[in-house]
Amino acid sequence: MATINDNYLKLKAGYLFPEIARRVKAFTESNPEGAAKLIRCGIGDVTEPLPEACRQAMHDAVDELGDSSTFRGYGPEQGYDFLRDAIVENQYAGLGISADEVFVSDGSKCDTGNILDIFGKGNKIAITDPVYPVYVDTNVMVGNTGEADESGAYEGLVYLPCTAENNFVPTIPEEDVDLVYLCYPNNPTGATATRQQLEEWVAYAKERNAIILYDAAYEAFVQDESVPKSIYEIEGAKDCAIEFRSFSKNGGFTGVRCAYTVVPKSVTGTDGKGEKHPLHPLWSRRHSTKFNGASYPVQRGAAAVFSPEGKAQVGALIKGYMENAALLRETCEKLGLPVYGGENAPYVWVGCPDGIDSWGMFDRMLEKANVVITPGSGFGAAGEGYFRISAFNSRENVEEVCRRITENLG
Ligand code: MLT
Protein backbone atom coordinates (compact mmCIF):
# COMPACT_ATOMS: atom_id res chain seq x y z
CA MET A 1 0.00 0.00 0.00
CA ALA A 2 1.45 3.32 -1.05
CA THR A 3 0.72 6.04 1.44
CA ILE A 4 0.64 9.69 0.48
CA ASN A 5 2.12 12.81 1.95
CA ASP A 6 -0.87 13.77 4.12
CA ASN A 7 0.35 17.34 4.27
CA TYR A 8 -0.95 17.85 0.73
CA LEU A 9 -4.46 17.34 2.08
CA LYS A 10 -4.02 20.45 4.22
CA LEU A 11 -3.52 22.70 1.18
CA LYS A 12 -6.34 25.14 0.62
CA ALA A 13 -8.21 25.10 -2.70
CA GLY A 14 -5.96 25.60 -5.71
CA TYR A 15 -2.71 27.47 -5.86
CA LEU A 16 -3.75 31.09 -6.52
CA PHE A 17 -2.79 31.38 -10.17
CA PRO A 18 -4.28 28.07 -11.35
CA GLU A 19 -7.43 29.10 -9.46
CA ILE A 20 -7.52 32.40 -11.34
CA ALA A 21 -6.91 30.53 -14.60
CA ARG A 22 -9.84 28.22 -13.77
CA ARG A 23 -12.20 31.15 -13.18
CA VAL A 24 -11.01 32.93 -16.31
CA LYS A 25 -11.55 29.76 -18.37
CA ALA A 26 -15.09 29.39 -17.05
CA PHE A 27 -15.77 33.03 -17.94
CA THR A 28 -14.31 32.88 -21.44
CA GLU A 29 -16.13 29.63 -22.26
CA SER A 30 -19.48 31.17 -21.45
CA ASN A 31 -18.72 34.68 -22.80
CA PRO A 32 -17.11 34.56 -26.24
CA GLU A 33 -17.47 38.32 -26.63
CA GLY A 34 -15.76 39.06 -23.30
CA ALA A 35 -13.15 36.42 -24.12
CA ALA A 36 -12.19 38.22 -27.31
CA LYS A 37 -11.59 41.45 -25.40
CA LEU A 38 -9.85 39.90 -22.39
CA ILE A 39 -6.62 41.53 -21.15
CA ARG A 40 -4.55 39.65 -18.59
CA CYS A 41 -2.94 41.68 -15.81
CA GLY A 42 -3.17 38.87 -13.28
CA ILE A 43 -0.10 36.67 -13.05
CA GLY A 44 3.13 38.62 -13.32
CA ASP A 45 4.10 37.11 -16.63
CA VAL A 46 6.18 39.09 -19.08
CA THR A 47 4.70 39.85 -22.50
CA GLU A 48 7.48 41.44 -24.52
CA PRO A 49 9.86 39.45 -26.76
CA LEU A 50 13.17 38.17 -25.44
CA PRO A 51 16.09 40.59 -25.82
CA GLU A 52 17.88 40.15 -29.14
CA ALA A 53 21.21 39.62 -27.33
CA CYS A 54 19.75 36.66 -25.43
CA ARG A 55 18.15 35.13 -28.49
CA GLN A 56 21.39 35.42 -30.46
CA ALA A 57 23.37 33.81 -27.64
CA MET A 58 20.86 30.95 -27.46
CA HIS A 59 20.96 30.44 -31.24
CA ASP A 60 24.77 30.31 -31.13
CA ALA A 61 24.67 27.84 -28.24
CA VAL A 62 22.28 25.57 -30.10
CA ASP A 63 24.61 25.66 -33.10
CA GLU A 64 27.51 24.68 -30.83
CA LEU A 65 25.48 21.68 -29.68
CA GLY A 66 24.94 20.77 -33.33
CA ASP A 67 28.63 20.41 -34.07
CA SER A 68 30.63 17.44 -32.76
CA SER A 69 33.67 19.61 -32.02
CA THR A 70 31.71 21.92 -29.70
CA PHE A 71 28.98 19.58 -28.49
CA ARG A 72 28.39 19.40 -24.70
CA GLY A 73 26.47 16.88 -22.65
CA TYR A 74 25.69 17.25 -18.97
CA GLY A 75 26.88 20.53 -17.55
CA PRO A 76 27.92 21.34 -13.99
CA GLU A 77 24.82 21.03 -11.80
CA GLN A 78 25.58 24.31 -10.03
CA GLY A 79 25.84 26.24 -13.29
CA TYR A 80 28.50 27.04 -15.86
CA ASP A 81 31.39 29.23 -14.70
CA PHE A 82 30.73 31.74 -17.48
CA LEU A 83 27.31 32.49 -15.98
CA ARG A 84 28.27 32.31 -12.31
CA ASP A 85 31.19 34.68 -12.97
CA ALA A 86 28.99 37.08 -14.92
CA ILE A 87 26.41 37.11 -12.11
CA VAL A 88 29.00 37.96 -9.49
CA GLU A 89 30.66 40.63 -11.62
CA ASN A 90 27.42 42.31 -12.59
CA GLN A 91 25.13 41.76 -9.62
CA TYR A 92 27.35 41.42 -6.58
CA ALA A 93 30.43 43.53 -7.32
CA GLY A 94 31.95 44.69 -4.06
CA LEU A 95 29.59 42.63 -1.90
CA GLY A 96 32.03 39.82 -1.20
CA ILE A 97 30.06 37.05 -2.91
CA SER A 98 32.14 34.49 -4.79
CA ALA A 99 31.07 32.68 -7.95
CA ASP A 100 30.93 29.29 -6.21
CA GLU A 101 28.33 30.69 -3.81
CA VAL A 102 25.96 31.19 -6.78
CA PHE A 103 23.78 28.22 -7.79
CA VAL A 104 22.12 28.46 -11.19
CA SER A 105 18.70 26.85 -11.51
CA ASP A 106 15.56 26.75 -13.60
CA GLY A 107 13.57 29.18 -11.48
CA SER A 108 13.19 31.06 -8.22
CA LYS A 109 9.79 29.54 -7.57
CA CYS A 110 11.43 26.10 -7.56
CA ASP A 111 14.38 27.29 -5.48
CA THR A 112 12.29 28.98 -2.80
CA GLY A 113 10.36 25.73 -2.44
CA ASN A 114 13.27 23.34 -2.79
CA ILE A 115 15.40 25.15 -0.22
CA LEU A 116 13.30 23.50 2.47
CA ASP A 117 15.02 20.20 1.59
CA ILE A 118 18.08 21.30 3.54
CA PHE A 119 16.25 22.44 6.68
CA GLY A 120 15.07 20.22 9.49
CA LYS A 121 11.57 19.47 10.65
CA GLY A 122 9.95 21.67 13.23
CA ASN A 123 11.51 24.97 12.24
CA LYS A 124 9.37 27.95 13.11
CA ILE A 125 8.57 29.79 9.90
CA ALA A 126 7.70 33.46 9.57
CA ILE A 127 6.06 34.80 6.44
CA THR A 128 4.68 38.18 5.56
CA ASP A 129 0.97 38.60 4.99
CA PRO A 130 0.18 39.18 2.12
CA VAL A 131 2.78 36.85 0.64
CA TYR A 132 3.82 35.04 -2.53
CA PRO A 133 1.81 31.83 -1.94
CA VAL A 134 4.67 29.47 -2.83
CA TYR A 135 6.41 30.10 0.50
CA VAL A 136 3.32 29.05 2.42
CA ASP A 137 2.30 26.07 0.33
CA THR A 138 5.78 24.57 0.25
CA ASN A 139 5.96 24.76 4.04
CA VAL A 140 2.58 23.05 4.25
CA MET A 141 3.83 20.33 1.90
CA VAL A 142 6.86 19.50 4.03
CA GLY A 143 4.86 19.44 7.24
CA ASN A 144 5.97 22.70 8.83
CA THR A 145 2.37 23.69 9.58
CA GLY A 146 -0.82 22.37 11.07
CA GLU A 147 -4.21 22.75 9.45
CA ALA A 148 -5.59 25.98 7.98
CA ASP A 149 -8.41 27.85 9.71
CA GLU A 150 -11.41 29.39 7.89
CA SER A 151 -9.37 32.45 6.97
CA GLY A 152 -6.79 30.21 5.30
CA ALA A 153 -4.12 30.86 7.97
CA TYR A 154 -2.09 27.78 8.87
CA GLU A 155 -1.48 26.76 12.43
CA GLY A 156 2.19 27.01 13.33
CA LEU A 157 3.16 29.72 10.84
CA VAL A 158 4.06 33.14 12.18
CA TYR A 159 2.23 35.68 10.03
CA LEU A 160 3.79 39.14 9.83
CA PRO A 161 1.10 41.57 8.70
CA CYS A 162 2.14 44.04 6.02
CA THR A 163 -0.29 46.91 5.90
CA ALA A 164 -0.47 50.46 4.65
CA GLU A 165 0.35 51.52 8.24
CA ASN A 166 3.74 49.81 8.21
CA ASN A 167 4.37 50.59 4.52
CA PHE A 168 4.05 46.87 3.82
CA VAL A 169 7.29 46.04 5.63
CA PRO A 170 6.71 43.78 8.64
CA THR A 171 7.54 44.71 12.19
CA ILE A 172 10.21 42.49 13.76
CA PRO A 173 8.47 39.77 15.80
CA GLU A 174 8.94 39.54 19.55
CA GLU A 175 9.21 35.78 19.40
CA ASP A 176 12.03 33.65 17.99
CA VAL A 177 11.59 32.25 14.51
CA ASP A 178 14.00 30.02 12.59
CA LEU A 179 13.31 30.94 8.97
CA VAL A 180 11.86 34.18 7.72
CA TYR A 181 10.84 34.87 4.12
CA LEU A 182 11.27 38.44 2.94
CA CYS A 183 10.64 39.60 -0.63
CA TYR A 184 11.68 43.11 -1.69
CA PRO A 185 10.74 44.75 -3.99
CA ASN A 186 7.66 42.99 -2.79
CA ASN A 187 5.33 40.69 -4.58
CA PRO A 188 2.39 41.43 -4.32
CA THR A 189 2.40 44.93 -2.80
CA GLY A 190 5.21 46.46 -4.86
CA ALA A 191 6.66 47.92 -1.63
CA THR A 192 10.37 48.25 -0.96
CA ALA A 193 12.31 47.88 2.27
CA THR A 194 14.73 50.59 3.35
CA ARG A 195 18.32 49.91 4.30
CA GLN A 196 17.46 50.56 7.93
CA GLN A 197 14.58 48.10 7.91
CA LEU A 198 16.79 45.42 6.39
CA GLU A 199 19.50 46.19 8.93
CA GLU A 200 16.98 45.54 11.69
CA TRP A 201 16.02 42.23 10.12
CA VAL A 202 19.66 41.15 9.77
CA ALA A 203 20.33 42.12 13.38
CA TYR A 204 17.29 40.09 14.47
CA ALA A 205 18.36 37.06 12.43
CA LYS A 206 21.90 37.14 13.81
CA GLU A 207 20.76 37.57 17.38
CA ARG A 208 18.18 34.76 17.21
CA ASN A 209 20.13 32.41 14.93
CA ALA A 210 17.45 32.72 12.28
CA ILE A 211 17.92 32.57 8.53
CA ILE A 212 16.45 35.11 6.13
CA LEU A 213 15.25 33.70 2.83
CA TYR A 214 15.42 36.84 0.72
CA ASP A 215 13.55 36.82 -2.57
CA ALA A 216 14.97 39.55 -4.79
CA ALA A 217 13.32 38.45 -8.03
CA TYR A 218 12.22 42.02 -8.76
CA GLU A 219 15.47 43.85 -7.93
CA ALA A 220 15.93 45.03 -11.52
CA PHE A 221 12.85 47.25 -11.17
CA VAL A 222 14.29 49.36 -8.34
CA GLN A 223 14.51 52.95 -9.55
CA ASP A 224 15.32 54.65 -6.26
CA GLU A 225 19.06 54.49 -5.63
CA SER A 226 18.67 54.47 -1.87
CA VAL A 227 16.72 51.18 -1.96
CA PRO A 228 18.95 48.11 -1.46
CA LYS A 229 18.77 45.61 -4.32
CA SER A 230 20.46 42.80 -2.44
CA ILE A 231 20.31 41.71 1.18
CA TYR A 232 24.11 41.43 1.01
CA GLU A 233 24.33 45.23 0.87
CA ILE A 234 23.57 44.94 4.58
CA GLU A 235 26.51 44.20 6.80
CA GLY A 236 26.28 40.79 8.44
CA ALA A 237 23.75 39.41 5.93
CA LYS A 238 26.32 36.98 4.57
CA ASP A 239 26.09 35.18 7.92
CA CYS A 240 22.33 34.80 7.96
CA ALA A 241 20.73 35.19 4.53
CA ILE A 242 20.13 33.23 1.36
CA GLU A 243 19.12 35.28 -1.68
CA PHE A 244 17.00 34.22 -4.64
CA ARG A 245 17.16 35.99 -7.98
CA SER A 246 15.75 35.32 -11.40
CA PHE A 247 16.10 36.13 -15.09
CA SER A 248 12.31 35.82 -15.46
CA LYS A 249 11.30 39.38 -14.92
CA ASN A 250 14.34 41.32 -16.16
CA GLY A 251 15.33 39.23 -19.20
CA GLY A 252 11.77 38.04 -19.82
CA PHE A 253 12.73 34.41 -19.11
CA THR A 254 9.43 33.24 -17.58
CA GLY A 255 9.11 30.72 -20.38
CA VAL A 256 12.84 30.13 -20.88
CA ARG A 257 13.53 29.38 -17.18
CA CYS A 258 16.72 30.51 -15.48
CA ALA A 259 17.39 31.81 -11.98
CA TYR A 260 19.99 31.59 -9.24
CA THR A 261 20.30 31.30 -5.52
CA VAL A 262 23.17 32.68 -3.46
CA VAL A 263 24.19 30.61 -0.46
CA PRO A 264 27.19 32.26 1.23
CA LYS A 265 29.61 29.79 2.80
CA SER A 266 29.27 31.62 6.11
CA VAL A 267 25.54 30.86 6.59
CA THR A 268 25.06 28.01 9.02
CA GLY A 269 22.28 25.89 10.44
CA THR A 270 22.24 23.67 13.50
CA ASP A 271 21.97 19.85 13.56
CA GLY A 272 20.00 17.72 16.00
CA LYS A 273 22.97 17.67 18.40
CA GLY A 274 23.27 21.45 18.44
CA GLU A 275 26.34 21.60 16.18
CA LYS A 276 26.55 24.25 13.47
CA HIS A 277 27.05 23.34 9.82
CA PRO A 278 27.44 25.55 6.74
CA LEU A 279 24.40 25.36 4.47
CA HIS A 280 26.47 25.78 1.31
CA PRO A 281 27.61 22.14 0.99
CA LEU A 282 24.10 20.92 1.79
CA TRP A 283 22.53 22.97 -0.99
CA SER A 284 25.33 21.99 -3.34
CA ARG A 285 24.70 18.32 -2.55
CA ARG A 286 20.97 18.77 -3.04
CA HIS A 287 21.57 20.43 -6.39
CA SER A 288 23.91 17.66 -7.56
CA THR A 289 21.52 14.93 -6.52
CA LYS A 290 18.17 16.31 -7.64
CA PHE A 291 19.08 18.62 -10.52
CA ASN A 292 21.18 18.32 -13.64
CA GLY A 293 21.70 22.00 -14.30
CA ALA A 294 19.83 24.54 -16.40
CA SER A 295 20.26 23.87 -20.09
CA TYR A 296 23.38 25.17 -21.84
CA PRO A 297 21.59 27.41 -24.40
CA VAL A 298 19.49 28.91 -21.60
CA GLN A 299 22.57 29.70 -19.51
CA ARG A 300 24.21 31.32 -22.54
CA GLY A 301 21.06 33.37 -23.05
CA ALA A 302 21.09 34.39 -19.39
CA ALA A 303 24.75 35.43 -19.53
CA ALA A 304 23.90 37.66 -22.51
CA VAL A 305 21.68 39.73 -20.19
CA PHE A 306 24.99 41.12 -18.87
CA SER A 307 26.53 41.93 -22.28
CA PRO A 308 26.49 45.63 -23.23
CA GLU A 309 23.70 45.02 -25.79
CA GLY A 310 21.82 42.81 -23.32
CA LYS A 311 21.98 45.47 -20.62
CA ALA A 312 20.61 48.11 -22.98
CA GLN A 313 17.81 45.81 -24.19
CA VAL A 314 16.84 44.71 -20.68
CA GLY A 315 16.94 48.35 -19.58
CA ALA A 316 14.45 49.20 -22.33
CA LEU A 317 12.13 46.37 -21.29
CA ILE A 318 12.17 47.48 -17.67
CA LYS A 319 11.61 51.10 -18.62
CA GLY A 320 8.57 50.08 -20.67
CA TYR A 321 7.05 48.02 -17.86
CA MET A 322 7.69 50.77 -15.32
CA GLU A 323 6.02 53.32 -17.58
CA ASN A 324 3.04 50.94 -17.68
CA ALA A 325 3.07 50.83 -13.88
CA ALA A 326 3.05 54.65 -13.76
CA LEU A 327 0.01 54.78 -16.07
CA LEU A 328 -1.86 52.23 -13.94
CA ARG A 329 -0.99 54.10 -10.77
CA GLU A 330 -2.14 57.41 -12.20
CA THR A 331 -5.45 55.94 -13.40
CA CYS A 332 -6.28 54.42 -10.01
CA GLU A 333 -5.15 57.54 -8.14
CA LYS A 334 -7.42 59.70 -10.30
CA LEU A 335 -10.33 57.51 -9.21
CA GLY A 336 -9.45 58.25 -5.59
CA LEU A 337 -8.41 54.68 -4.80
CA PRO A 338 -5.54 54.02 -2.36
CA VAL A 339 -2.57 53.10 -4.57
CA TYR A 340 0.75 51.53 -3.53
CA GLY A 341 3.73 50.02 -5.30
CA GLY A 342 4.44 50.44 -8.99
CA GLU A 343 7.38 52.79 -8.41
CA ASN A 344 10.16 50.28 -7.81
CA ALA A 345 8.25 47.14 -8.77
CA PRO A 346 6.08 46.01 -11.66
CA TYR A 347 3.04 45.54 -9.42
CA VAL A 348 0.46 48.14 -8.47
CA TRP A 349 -1.41 47.35 -5.25
CA VAL A 350 -4.77 49.06 -5.08
CA GLY A 351 -7.41 49.34 -2.37
CA CYS A 352 -10.82 48.12 -3.59
CA PRO A 353 -13.62 50.68 -3.86
CA ASP A 354 -15.87 50.76 -0.79
CA GLY A 355 -17.98 47.72 -0.18
CA ILE A 356 -16.16 45.38 -2.56
CA ASP A 357 -13.88 42.61 -1.38
CA SER A 358 -10.90 41.26 -3.31
CA TRP A 359 -12.64 38.40 -5.12
CA GLY A 360 -15.64 40.66 -5.72
CA MET A 361 -13.26 43.05 -7.43
CA PHE A 362 -11.74 40.19 -9.42
CA ASP A 363 -15.20 39.18 -10.69
CA ARG A 364 -16.23 42.74 -11.44
CA MET A 365 -13.07 43.46 -13.43
CA LEU A 366 -13.40 40.15 -15.28
CA GLU A 367 -17.09 40.43 -16.10
CA LYS A 368 -17.49 44.18 -16.61
CA ALA A 369 -14.06 45.31 -17.81
CA ASN A 370 -12.80 41.98 -19.20
CA VAL A 371 -9.53 42.55 -17.38
CA VAL A 372 -7.86 39.90 -15.23
CA ILE A 373 -6.34 41.22 -12.01
CA THR A 374 -5.22 39.32 -8.91
CA PRO A 375 -7.37 39.46 -5.77
CA GLY A 376 -5.33 40.66 -2.81
CA SER A 377 -6.86 38.10 -0.47
CA GLY A 378 -5.33 35.34 -2.61
CA PHE A 379 -1.98 36.39 -1.09
CA GLY A 380 -3.21 36.16 2.49
CA ALA A 381 -5.80 37.52 4.89
CA ALA A 382 -4.08 40.93 5.13
CA GLY A 383 -4.47 41.28 1.35
CA GLU A 384 -8.26 41.38 1.69
CA GLY A 385 -9.67 44.64 0.37
CA TYR A 386 -6.89 45.03 -2.20
CA PHE A 387 -6.23 43.93 -5.74
CA ARG A 388 -2.96 43.69 -7.67
CA ILE A 389 -2.48 44.86 -11.24
CA SER A 390 0.54 43.55 -13.08
CA ALA A 391 2.32 46.06 -15.29
CA PHE A 392 3.69 43.28 -17.48
CA ASN A 393 1.86 43.98 -20.69
CA SER A 394 2.11 45.89 -23.96
CA ARG A 395 1.60 49.66 -23.78
CA GLU A 396 -1.46 49.35 -25.97
CA ASN A 397 -3.07 46.87 -23.58
CA VAL A 398 -2.18 48.92 -20.52
CA GLU A 399 -3.72 52.05 -22.06
CA GLU A 400 -6.85 50.05 -22.79
CA VAL A 401 -6.88 48.65 -19.23
CA CYS A 402 -6.64 52.21 -17.89
CA ARG A 403 -9.61 53.25 -20.06
CA ARG A 404 -11.67 50.28 -18.88
CA ILE A 405 -10.79 50.83 -15.20
CA THR A 406 -11.89 54.46 -15.50
CA GLU A 407 -15.10 53.48 -17.28
CA ASN A 408 -16.01 50.78 -14.78
CA LEU A 409 -14.88 52.27 -11.51
CA GLY A 410 -15.18 55.98 -12.27
C1 MLT B 1 3.13 36.47 -9.64
O2 MLT B 1 2.30 36.86 -10.46
O3 MLT B 1 2.99 36.64 -8.44
C4 MLT B 1 4.34 35.79 -10.16
O5 MLT B 1 4.47 35.97 -11.50
C6 MLT B 1 4.32 34.38 -9.95
C7 MLT B 1 5.67 33.81 -10.16
O8 MLT B 1 6.64 34.50 -10.45
O9 MLT B 1 5.76 32.61 -10.00
Over the chain (410 residues), what is each successive 10-residue block's mean pLDDT? Answer: 97 80 94 94 95 98 98 97 98 98 98 98 96 96 94 94 97 97 98 98 98 98 98 98 98 98 98 97 97 98 98 98 98 98 98 94 96 95 96 98 94
CA distances from 70 to 64, 76, 184, 298 (A): 5, 16, 40, 16
CA of 387 to the centre of ligand 1 (A): 14
Residue 20, C-beta contacts closer than 8 angstroms, at least 6 positions apart: 42, 43, 362, 372, 374, 378
CA of 254 to the centre of ligand 1 (A): 9
Instruction: Report which ligand 1 atom has the smallest distance to the Cα of 254.
Output: 8
CA of 73 to the centre of ligand 1 (A): 31
Atom 5 of ligand 1, nearest CA residue: 44
Specify the pLDDT at position 409: 87
- CB-CB contact of 342 with 190 (8 Å): yes
Instruction: Report which ligand 1 atom has the smallest distance to the Cα of 217.
Output: 8
- The pick from 15, 17, 186, 390 for probing ligand 1's pocket by mutation, whose C-beta has the most ligand atoms within 8 angstroms, reads 17
CA of 70 to the centre of ligand 1 (A): 36
**What CA–CA distance (Å, rounded) separates 87 from 377?**
35
Q: CATH topology for 55-306?
A: Aspartate Aminotransferase; domain 2 (3.40.640)
Q: CATH topology for 6-49+309-409?
A: Aspartate Aminotransferase, domain 1 (3.90.1150)
CA of 248 to the centre of ligand 1 (A): 10
Buried b (16+ CB within 10 A) or exposed e, 82-101: ebbbbbbeebbeebebebeb
- The pick from 40, 187, 321 for probing ligand 1's pocket by mutation, whose C-beta has the most ligand atoms within 8 angstroms, reads 187
CA of 22 to the centre of ligand 1 (A): 16
CA-wise closest residue to 257 among 268, 265, 269, 249 = 249
Q: What is the pLDDT of residues 157-214, one digit of tens each?
A: 999 999 999 999 999 999 999 999 999 999 999 999 999 999 999 999 999 999 999 9
- The pick from 47, 106, 132 for probing ligand 1's pocket by mutation, whose C-beta has the most ligand atoms within 8 angstroms, reads 132
Instruction: Report which ligand 1 atom has the smallest distance to the Cα of 248.
Output: 8
Instruction: Report which ligand 1 atom has the smallest distance to the Cα of 246.
Output: 8
**What CA–CA distance (Å, rounded) separates 247 from 255?**
10
Specify the pLDDT at position 148: 93
- What burial class does residue 17 get, using C-beta atoms within 10 Å of its C-beta: 0-12 exposed, 13-18 middle, 19+ buried? middle
The beta strand positions in 80-178, using DSSP E, are: 102-105, 125-129, 158-161
CA of 68 to the centre of ligand 1 (A): 39
- CB-CB contact of 398 with 392 (8 Å): no
What is the residue extent of each domain of the chain?
Answer: 6-49+309-409, 55-306
Atom 9 of ligand 1, nearest CA residue: 109
Q: Which amino acid appears at position 315 of this protein?
A: G
CA of 44 to the centre of ligand 1 (A): 5
Specify the pLDDT at position 8: 96
The binding-site residues of ligand 1, defined as CB within 6 angstroms of any ligand atom, are 43-45, 109, 132, 187
